[in-house]
Chains A and B, each alone.
Chain A
Amino acid sequence: MLIFLLSTCNRDEVDNQRPEIDMSWDGAFPKNCDTLYIGETFNFGAVFTDNTALGSYSIDIHHNFDHHSHSTDVEDCRLLPVKEAVNPFLFIREYEIPVGIKVYRADVEIFIPEGVDEGDYHLFISLTDREGWRAEKGVSVKILHRKSS
């Protein structure tokens, strides 16, 4: 039985590596503490990598008026005072990455409609590879009206 055991153990190693989310490069957006503007479109930009094959990613933007969320970055942003939500902006989308890709640059246009509440928001990114390994990143952002200069 032991011999049988040993023979089954020596299989090729499975993929144990998590994918990675890189938002440290210049074109990555939004970064922690960035501001997004109501009535405008912004381009979400990130680079995803994996050792074998990427799976999908999701973007979730929800309000943080009660300060419940925090970014996964070490740096904390200065938050506005706690307030009640009336009509907060909400965005949840999943994007599949084509099969067999190891490096992928995400570029998504996201429009923030008029009428949503200004304030602190949280942008949460989840990335998977085809094996089901996952990486997460949370970014604190502000959604405000652009002040006419």
Chain B
Amino acid sequence: MKGLQWLFVLAFCLPHQSFSQHIYYSVRGQVTHEGQTPLTGANVILNSGEKTTITDKDGKFVLAEMVAGKYILEVSYLGYEKYTGTLNIVSDTSVVIMLKPQFQTLEEVAVVGEYSGMLKREDPTSIESVNKQYIKNYLSGNLMKTLDRLPGVSAIEIGSGQSKPLIRGLGFNRVVVVENGIKHEGQQWGEEHGLEIDQYAIDRIEIIKSPASLMYGSDAIGGVINLKQIEIPAENTFGGMLDMTGKSNNNLLGISFNAYARKNRAFVSGRYTMIDYADYHIPAGSVDIYSYSIPLFRNRLRNTAGNEQYLHFSIGSIGKHFFNRLFISNMKNKVGFFANAHGLEPRNVDMSLHDKSARDIHYPFQEVNHFKISAKSTINHGINQIEAIFGYQNNFRQEWSQYVAHGYMPAVFPDSLSFPDVLELQFDKDVYSGALKNTISFSDKFSLTTGFNSELQKNCIDGRGFIIPGFRQFTMGVYMYDKFSLSEKIILHAGLRYDFGNIEIKEYYDWFKSPVINDHGDTTHYDYLQRTAGLNRRFTNICWSVGINYNGSVFSLKANIGKSFRMPIAKELAANGVNYHHFSYEVGNPKLSSEVSYQFDLGLEWKLSRIVLGLSPFLGYFPNYIYLNPSYRHDYLYGAGHQIFYYTQSEVLRAGGEIHLHYNVLKQVKAGVVGEYVYSEQLSGEKKGFTLPFSPPANVLLNLNYSPGIGKMFNETYISVDYKLVAAQNKIVPPERKTKGSQIVNISVGSKFEWKEQFVSVNFQVQNLFNSKYFNHTSYYRIINVPEAGRNFIINLSIPFEHQTGKNRK
């Protein structure tokens, strides 16, 4: 514990700088890029962090209270070359800085705008970043499907437009999703639980594709998806944007309206998003579950309709040395499950009821409400940059289905219970989180970040089913990370972290009596069975990371090696029930240890005048991967004769990587290739020699992009064609099925045109152009032979408006 105390001392003993009486001047500036367009959110740094600020919506910034003298001004923005210049201040000064775009490695293939930015150059881990425009251009049914295009990133589809992130073959609670600095707690503990993120409300997404426990703690063992709302309105303006989306495949209608206002330093913004969709179409007239063929009405997957509503509110203030922002949001959704495949076996449903309308939602369905509030403060004090974040969120989720007695549940549902017969599962989770971070920039060559984060979770359960117990979980961690520039081209990184976690699991008894069977196989009596005994576990972990960046003019290299960890979750420790989405019975293991991963990451990139080639291989080893092992046993009580899956731990070796190649055929025509491959093998345990579940098959995306440049009426026009080739996946583990390869063509076209002094943008997409019938190996519906969605036309229209209020201070 001595070491820990030192860490605290280091973090909060802030070196001070004295201030004396001076005449103050101010520097006003504007940051633009090509065509004098203002650049919002650019980082403006004075004397390596003495003062920092961010540009507003008009690309403008103010550095006030400056004494006369010589300063070094740096301006950086992801995807642009960093500007460094000297500023000689003798009076109030104004500057205009135009940033030059960096050579865009894969701009059109993978990301629009900011792919190979500062982040990529200065971070030793494998990282991807996309902006708002990318989301609009490639908007899919949900956020993860939209990001699926990126190398090394896939989506585990769980039907009904829901999906979970999968980074280099690792998913579920091995990937952390962070929204505005707070870990998004919701989707991890239910399998059929999507991300519950409003795609319209995100300004920037950063994806770390390697273990990142160092900064993000437990669960970041597979990577991080960091969602950011960073846009700040320009001074003394009010405005907003109306987004409208339509999709043909599931008759989706999405409307998102946002409004903002800023007076001097204070700003406020709000957003309302509404999405409503019908059952989706697949290119098949029936689905074979086991050997039974379920007919579909007009190729629609029965009861996959849904609706989502999001409300966001944010207020903030920007000061000379501080930036505060408060976010409040609420998400509500109701989504149907494919009615024929919910429960323990293929189900008969009332087809006349279900097929009457494609828009209605019948049993089985889920309802989720996710409320979130978080406050973030950034303070610049001398060479310190302090960031504090506090948050609270509540995730309330219910699964509803018709009562069917499983195991020894009574044939007729008794009316003496506290929950209704149709409530299958209910989870009510409260999460409190806090994080404190201080970055000290001793010089432009050396910076040290120390941080602390902590989280408290409380989960209550209800309903007739049981799989995850109620629990209370507390985690905290302290870390230290330093960044040292050896030369102009070489940056070294090192970090160390300590974590503590405690989980208290509540015992659970069935609400119905089951037979108690003795060793001879005879029933002695009937009793309420205990599914989960109370459990109290503590975990401690130390993890570390060391990395290097080399940025040459043609060749750049990054390498990182680190240890990450993950604390077992309540489900892994104490599940004991039926997974209705997987036709399985899951049993937790209270003896599990923290999962540990060692991973080596390499990034190599060559940039020539018209061609860029990049390779990012990785090699990882888990001494004790937590694996849900399908055993040969069956449960004869609540599991109603279904196969038992036990949580076990095994050694796992993983390797693979991504490749990207970008070629500027002509000034306006660009071609690109991105590919990914993951190999996993269990080296010990009952499934020695087998792969891991949901292993993404090797795939290559070929892209051709034509951007005619700036026209008279239309701006930023582009046509982009994706040809995605997916290899067959023959490496499987029970209960998966081998999946054949597939070829898909997607087209995206878009432009911006001026209308009433604003730029209205229109994007049009055709996904699965040839309406191909294919299977996605990383879909939950794969095992019941449900093919992927058929052809889909998507149109998105964004209409902005903005007005100046009052005078801008000169």
Contacts and interface: CB of A to CB of B under 8 A. Distances in A.
B345 A92 contact: no
Given A12-B689, A94-B641, A136-B290, A55 B636 contact: no
Contacts of B297: none
Interface in A104-149: 122, 124, 126, 128-134, 136-138
23 contacts: A12-B689, A16-B738, A55-B632, A58-B641, A62-B640, A63-B411, A66-B404, A68-B347, A69-B348, A72-B346, A74-B291, A85-B405, A94-B636, A126-B634, A126-B643, A128-B634, A128-B643, A132-B629, A132-B687, A133-B735, A134-B734, A138-B290, A138-B292
Interface residues on A, range: 35 or more
Interface in B618-639: 619, 629-637
Contacts of B407: 92
A45 interface: no
Given A68-B404, A74-B293, A126-B641, A11 B689 contact: yes
Interface in B446-498: none
Contacts of A94: 633-636, 641
Nearest to A60: B641
Contacts of A73: 291-292
Contacts of A85: 405, 411-412
A128 B402 CA distance: 29
A24 interface: no
Contacts of A96: 633
A105 to B, nearest CB: 18
A8 B642 contact: no
Contacts of A129: 632
Interface of A: 1, 4-5, 8-9, 11-12, 14, 16, 55-60, 62-63, 66-74, 84-88, 90, 92-94, 96, 122, 124, 126, 128-134, 136-138
B292 A72 contact: yes
B732 interface: yes
Contact of B405 (A55, A62, A72): A62
A72 B738 contact: no
A116 B653 CA distance: 54
B706 interface: no
Contact of B291 (A8, A62, A72, A90): A72
A86 B633 contact: no
A137 B345 CA distance: 10
Contact of A136 (B345, B347, B633, B653): B345
Given A92-B640, A129-B632, 15 more contacts: A1-B655, A8-B681, A11-B681, A12-B689, A14-B689, A16-B738, A56-B634, A69-B347, A74-B291, A85-B412, A93-B636, A131-B734, A134-B630, A134-B734, A138-B345
Shortest 10 CB-CB contacts between residues of A and residues of B:
A55-B632, A60-B641, A132-B630, A85-B411, A58-B641, A58-B634, A132-B734, A94-B634, A128-B632, A14-B689
Contact of B734 (A5, A70, A133): A133
A1 B617 contact: yes
B690 interface: yes
B641 A124 contact: yes
B642 A126 contact: yes
Contacts of B679: 5, 8-9
Interface in B339-386: 343-348
Contacts of A92: 407-408, 636-637, 640-641
B641 A14 contact: no
A96 B348 CA distance: 30
B655 A132 contact: no
Contacts of A88: 411
B290 A84 contact: no
Nearest to B637: A92
Contacts of B681: 8, 11
A60 to B, nearest CB: 3
A67 B349 CA distance: 8
B158 to A, nearest CB: 21
A5 B407 CA distance: 46
A86 B408 CA distance: 14
A62 B411 CA distance: 10
Contacts of A69: 345, 347-348
Contacts of A68: 343, 347-348, 402, 404
Nearest to B688: A14
A60 B405 CA distance: 12
Interface string B288-305: 001111000000000000
Nearest to A57: B634
A14 B690 contact: yes
A24 to B, nearest CB: 12
Nearest to B629: A132
B643 A67 contact: no
Interface string B647-678: 00000010100000000000000000000000
Nearest to B737: A18
Interface string B389-415: 000000000000010110110011000
Given A1-B619, A14-B690, A126-B643, A132 B631 contact: yes
A37 B407 CA distance: 22
A131 B412 CA distance: 38
A8 B653 contact: yes
A132 B411 contact: no
A4 B344 CA distance: 43
